[in-house]
Amino acid sequence: MKPDIKICGLKTPEAVDRALERGATHIGFIFFEKSPRYVEPDIAGGLATRARGKAKVVAVAVNPSNDDLDEIVSLVKPDILQLHGDESPERVLTVKAVYGLPVMKALSIRTADDLKRVEAYIGIADRFLFDAKPPAGSELPGGNGVAFDWSLMHWLDGNIDYMLSGGVNKENVALALASTKASGIDISSGVESAPGVKDLAKIDGFFDAVAEACMP
């Protein structure tokens, strides 16, 4: 089965259009101001209209307040909210209740113990995204271009629906898919020529690699 593909950290019409043309199932917009991929909600709203009905629009926020989410939901009208901070299970429940949207909860992984955190969110988060823990000194919870040990995924309950993120690129996406049970791949820095700058040729190369990996 073909995996979902989420191209995250989009900021330009050209990158959105190319991701859609190549078959992205999800497109992500980052609302974390320290990130080079940050985009103003009103600009993201315009970009989201290009994807409406073609791919799921994902709004990515880090420990957002309700005021933050009010603005994002109003202007972007996302299909999914991705919480990429330290949000508790209770906070996830509150966000779902207030906004009536599914929530994808991101968890940072380095060791098997980190995976145990998923248990508290089962039945609460609608989907998970497993990313690598940021390297020392990084202020970004994601988008650092580093991978974790994907073999750890074997310890995860096979019924847990998740996207795999962190250091995925065209060179290793086949291994990522073969060595995990991820139903989706999330990529950001792996299709960039510089932090926050999406490279259309790299987007093409990535989708070509996914297609090759999924050949019978």
- pTM here is 0.93
Asked whether the CA dihedral 61, 183, 135, 110 is positive or negative, the reply is positive
Residues near 132 by beta carbon (within 8 Å), at least 6 away in sequence: 108, 109, 110, 144, 146, 147, 148, 165, 166, 167
pLDDT tens digits for range 108-164? 998 888 999 999 999 999 999 999 876 555 555 545 466 788 988 888 888 899 999
**Phi, psi (degrees; rounded to nearest 5) at 76:** -95, -30
If DSSP codes are grouped into helix, strand and coil, which group holds residue 122?
Answer: coil
Is residue 128 within 8 Å of residue 102, measured between CB atoms?
no
- Given a cut of 70, whether residue 30 has pLDDT beyond it is yes
pLDDT attached to residue 139: 57
Instruction: Give the phi and the psi of residue 191 in degrees, each rounded to 5.
Output: -125, 35
